[in-house]
Structure 1
Amino acid sequence: MPDPTDDTHQAELARTREFFAARAADWDARFPDDGPRYAAAVAELALEPGQSVLDAGCGTGRALPLLRAAVGPGGAVTGVDLTPEMLAVAATRDTGATLLQADCARLPLPDATLDAVFAAGLISHLPDPAAGLRELARTTRPGGLLALFHPIGRAALAARHGRQSTGAERPEAAKEGGDLRAEPNLRPLLAATGWRLTAYTDTDDRYLALAERTD
């Protein structure tokens, strides 16, 4: 497994921070209609009052109020992001969440303490997706849930960027630069990192993969 402290990993993290730092101030304004889709995705986690949930790659914190409402005042909500500018926006939301600047491959969290992880757009920005998913598994109790979410599906996102989606045809496509979010690629990746894929939706108006932490 690549070392999350190596130069290549750190260089990729720096590029991610630079990309999002320049966009933090107007990020929410660019995507004003995403709220209901976030709410629907959080609802799929079926969180209960008093639970502990992580928003991994929380960005400007759009999911934080929804997660707080789900776990209630007795629950714990933590938002983690690489980019200080994104976290500064998230801090303006009155959610009572703990906000941490951290690499998702090196979370400052104890083992097996989370009941659920919500991750919007995260997997595409991980320098090493396997390392990131493995670290999320480390911090999640057996039976805990992971939601990999994006407010639009892979094809719609690819079209937004002027390209076609790839990787849906066969698992080995991941080794050829295919989209790791495609179900044939994502299922074995999750299985290898401590998760079991339980549900998968990829439509124009939503991408949501749900997984359960295995023993």
Structure 2
Amino acid sequence: MADDHTHVQEFFGARAAGWDARFPDDGPAYAAAVTELGLSPGDAVLDAGCGTGRALAPLRRAVGPTGTVVGADLTPAMLEAALRAGRGASGQLLLADVTRLPLRTGSLDAVFAAGLVAHLPQPEVNLRELARVVRPGGKLALFHPIGRAALAARQGRQITDDDLRAEPNLRLLLAGSGWRTVSYVDEDARFLALAVRQD
């Protein structure tokens, strides 16, 4: 586990300063995904693996001034980039491992996770931890601003049937970790799977 975490921290730490500049047009996609999560004023939401905090402002708009927004990330350099970008004003930034969250059981209404699943060391166990901190009936959004095929092309690889985010695989993974998939979209312009926390 420590090796996985070290690898993730090194990978994102080396890229944090220029992360937003590499993907300058993703803002509307983040905002649209947050809208589809269906948050209400006053809700408590976690941005799991928040990176530079691009989802924090739309999450804050969705839950309003009475809501709670927490952005958690394992990589200090990503959180520092979020602070430099002024995104700390939209929510509380937390240096934390999303596989062992320092949050109370059932304390959240929703989790938003952009690009997180591929970096989880034990996806089923780790998604169960996200389920733990969400109340029954609460929501999960697994998002990426481009779809699986477009991402694979960007990375110079092919998508395969054993891809964790392929619909049948992801549905099974979510079901095994306390979530029920309610929608799945994998288009060139976005990837968005929405799930509900089982009782």
Give the Å deviation of 1:120: 0.1
1:76 aligned residue: 68
Gaps of 5+ in 1: 1-8, 168-177
2:113 aligned residue: 119
Contact 1:42 1:66 in 2 (8 A): yes
Q: Could you report, residue by residue, the CA deviation over 1:157-198 in whole angstroms, capped at 9, with x for unpaired residues?
A: 00011111112xxxxxxxxxx211001101011011000000
1:32 aligned residue: 24
| RMSD (Å) for aligned C-alpha atoms | 0.8
Q: Which amino acid letter does the alignment assign opposite residue 149 of structure 1?
A: F
Q: Which amino acid letter does the alignment assign opposite residue 212 of structure 1?
A: V
User: In the TM superposition, what are the counterparts of 1:89-168 in structure 2 within 5 Å?
Assistant: 89-91=81-83, 92-167=86-161
Give the secondary-structure state (helix, strand or coil) at the position aligned to 2:52: coil
2:192 aligned residue: 208
Matching residue within 10, 17, 21 for 2:9: 17
Give the Å deviation of 1:77: 0.2
Q: Which amino acid letter does the alignment assign opposite residue 166 of structure 1?
A: T
Q: Could you report, residue by residue, the CA deviation over 1:66-113 in whole angstroms, capped at 9, with x for unpaired residues?
A: 100110110000000000000011123253411111111100000001
- The sequence identity of aligned pairs, in percent, is 66
Distance 1:95 1:126 in 2: 27
Matching of residue 51 in structure 1 with residue 35 in structure 2: no
Contact 1:154 1:202 in 2 (8 A): yes
* Alpha carbons of structure 1 residues 15 and 44: separation in structure 2 relative to 1, 3 Å: same
Give the secondary-structure state (helix, strand or coil) at the position aligned to 1:22: helix
Gaps of 5+ in 2: none
Give the secondary-structure state (helix, strand or coil) at the position aligned to 2:135: strand
1:5 aligned residue: none
Q: TM-score, normalised by structure 2?
A: 0.97
Larger mean CA deviation between 94-103 and 44-53 belongs to 94-103
